Amino acid sequence: MAQVPQTFLDALAVRTWCGLALETLGRAREEIDAINVYPVADGDTGTNLYLTVESAVAAVEAVFAGHAARSGPEGPTLADTARAMAHGALIGARGNSGTILAQLLRGMSQVLAEGGTAQAGGESAHADGRGLRLALRHAADSARQAVAHPVEGTVLTVASAAADAACGAEGDCGTVARAAYEGARAALAATPGQLPVLERAGVVDAGGRGLVAVLGALVETFTGERPREAAATVTAGALRVGAGSRSAVVSETGGPGALAAGSAGGPGGPHARVVPGQADGSASGVPAGPAGDAQGLYTDERGPHARVEAAEELAPAVGAPRGECADGAAAADVDGPAFEVIYLLEAEDTAVERLRERLDALGDSLVVVGGDGLWNVHVHVDDAGAAVEAGIEAGRPYRIRITHFGAGDVHTTGAERPPRERAQRAVVAVVPGEGLAGLYTEAGATTVLARPGEPPASGELVHAVRRAHAREVVLLPNDAELRHTAAAAAEQARTEGIRVALIPTRSAVQGIAALAVHEPERRFDEDVVSMTSAAGATRYAEVTVAERQAWTMAGICQAGDVLGLIDGDVAVIGSDVTATAETVLDRMLAAGGEMVTLVLGDEAPGTIAEHLEGRVREGYLAVDTVVYRGGRQGAVLLIGVE
């Protein structure tokens, strides 16, 4: 359905563009993953770009929601929205291509936030065709500067070509956007001639293909129409090429036999992915409509949510090698460093310049993007510890993710990994802290880490379901706020032939109870019923500290007050963590119970576990207590009573 075109690039146009870009990348994700052969066949460039834009969308939506909550007559300004888009992309950037895309959006936002012109009547600022030209130029230049050793034939080349074409166009935003799109599409078609590895494989650059899709969404924003599909860009006739363990077909003509019926998707670039198991021709992506789990638990869907970091490696789709390499890295058949290191960094500009020099000497594939005190660092090294230490010397690194490219994988040898046999059943769980992640992993679950204020996005959960590599998956969101996101992820995974059951766990302690009765040898339905029953029989509570004054079910709390929440509602307001926790525990056990589970956060008092265990032992006969350490889980204490 055609969109209502936007005349100028204002706050609403940025919002529309981000949403359309997410939809377009959702359709093209598998295709982009499949053609990713430079410098190694990672098989996750499309997914990384999707997750990066999903984070940008969440940040933009948060700005609009904030203005709506204040009930003001005016919406957010172009500057507010553009900065939110760039910040969301930066903190949610995945892989090298996603990191570069984040810098492209940041470059645009710097121009848009400063160069918008006020409309008549005092309305929010907007940018015209000239402003869009300047934004695209600055974006391409800043992205190229962020890569330590730029290589032509990559997304950087496509971005520069888009900016060049835009600068030669006169007219409104629609005219400029279309010129940029056509320039990018032409540059994408030329990438096989610039990189021999692409020419041998018969594909275009995957990151560049993703950027063309994003620019196609920009055209749709201003014209209301999706651009015409780009012609395939390699040689006449169809070529079958390998991407990991999967195959793709590209064709100059796009005629019968060249493309699967379901491979047509987003605008721009050749369609080089033959999608198996989709007889209806639909492409993958997070569904736009209502989503429900197998048991009909949920029937609606929340918008996308920003995802910042998971503690463990996010492996690509089944059969694909791990770890996306930089667009400025060495050739695919050259041995590379053993580790990929990624982290966010709070540091001054001068310190970051020194960091670039040090990391460049340590390894390759170096990309550092950001500014104004917040940076996203990506590098491949043999000494991961040294890369992290360099970040510590520069400032405060956090959300550190280290991926080991194991001996014998494609990164170090160029050889394809043997496919791994699927398990019959697996459990995927969202956990709020590193300690619980270890506990769940020991119990056999595949985990997704959700740090405080950083809920995983639906694409992240789909990635985890794929990573579990099983025919049947039980999904435990462990958070009431994640039910719609988890339902969307479950629905998406089902379209890929995975049988998924979503158990509506609202706390990690309910997930522990469900996991305790999990038996993979049972029939799937019986196992799901047993796990659901165990989770439902577990009351949950948490003890936390109020960040601000607020109305609660227990009265008005002030910043710094200790809150005791039972089944999601504030039941106790106190001043001491241990005393509040004891009151909460007494209220929960007043209704009976046989087992108490305590999960301690890093900020929990050192004696609280011993005190509560003693309270249970003295006051409640035949009630057992088990204690776990959850790490940085947000809440001071989690309590479960079965």
Using one digit for the tens of pLDDT, what is the confidence trace for 271-328? 333 233 333 333 333 333 333 333 222 223 333 333 323 333 333 333 333 334 444 4
Q: Return the closest-CA partner of residue 574 out of 587, 555, 589.
A: 555
Q: Please report the pLDDT score of residue 125 as a whole number.
A: 64
3-state secondary structure of 133: helix
Q: Please report the pLDDT score of residue 42 as a whole number.
A: 56
DSSP classification of residue 283? P
Q: Is the pLDDT of residue 20 over 50?
A: yes
| Higher pLDDT, residue 127 or 523 | 523
User: Average pLDDT in the 94-113 region?
Assistant: 90
Contact 37, 332 (CB under 8 A): yes
DSSP classification of residue 231? P
Whole-structure pTM value: 0.58
Q: Please report the pLDDT score of residue 34 as a whole number.
A: 81
CA 551 to each of CA 68, 244, 487, 546, 581: distance values in angstroms, whole numbers, following the listed order: 20, 54, 30, 11, 20
Q: Return the closest-CA partner of residue 321 out of 106, 4, 38.
A: 38
**Half-sphere exposure for 12 (CA within 13 Å, toward CB):** 11
The beta strand positions in 405-505, using DSSP E, are 423-431, 446-449, 470-476, 499-502
Q: Please report the pLDDT score of residue 503 as a whole number.
A: 93
CA 261 to each of CA 258, 267, 276, 281, 572: distance values in angstroms, whole numbers, following the listed order: 10, 16, 11, 5, 58
3-state secondary structure of 474: strand
Q: Is the pLDDT of residue 269 over 60?
A: no
| Higher pLDDT, residue 366 or 34 | 366
Q: Please report the pLDDT score of residue 421 as a whole number.
A: 75
Distance of alpha carbon 260 from alpha carbon 278, whole angstroms: 10
Q: Return the closest-CA partner of residue 517 out of 534, 505, 542, 493.
A: 534
Least confident of 155-164, 204-213, 483-492: 483-492
Q: Return the closest-CA partner of residue 266 out of 184, 210, 222.
A: 210
Q: Please report the pLDDT score of residue 95 as a whole number.
A: 79
Distance of alpha carbon 383 from alpha carbon 405, whole angstroms: 12
DSSP classification of residue 19? H
Q: Please report the pLDDT score of residue 3 as a whole number.
A: 53
Per-residue pLDDT reduced to its tens digit, 189-200: 999 999 888 888
Residue in the structure block whose two tokens are 């956090």: 398
Distance of alpha carbon 503 from alpha carbon 367, whole angstroms: 40
Average pLDDT, the chain: 77
State the DSSP H helix or E strand holding residue 103, giving kind and residue range, or none if neither.
helix 95-115
State the DSSP H helix or E strand holding residue 175, giving kind and residue range, or none if neither.
helix 173-194
Q: Please report the pLDDT score of residue 4 as a whole number.
A: 55
The 10 Å CB-count burial string (b at 16+, else e) for 175-206 is bbbbbbbbbbbbbbbbbbeebebbeebbbbbb
Q: 634: pLDDT confidence band, cut at 50, 70 and 90?
A: confident
Percentage of the chain lying above the pLDDT 90 cut: 37
Q: Is the pLDDT of residue 533 over 50?
A: yes
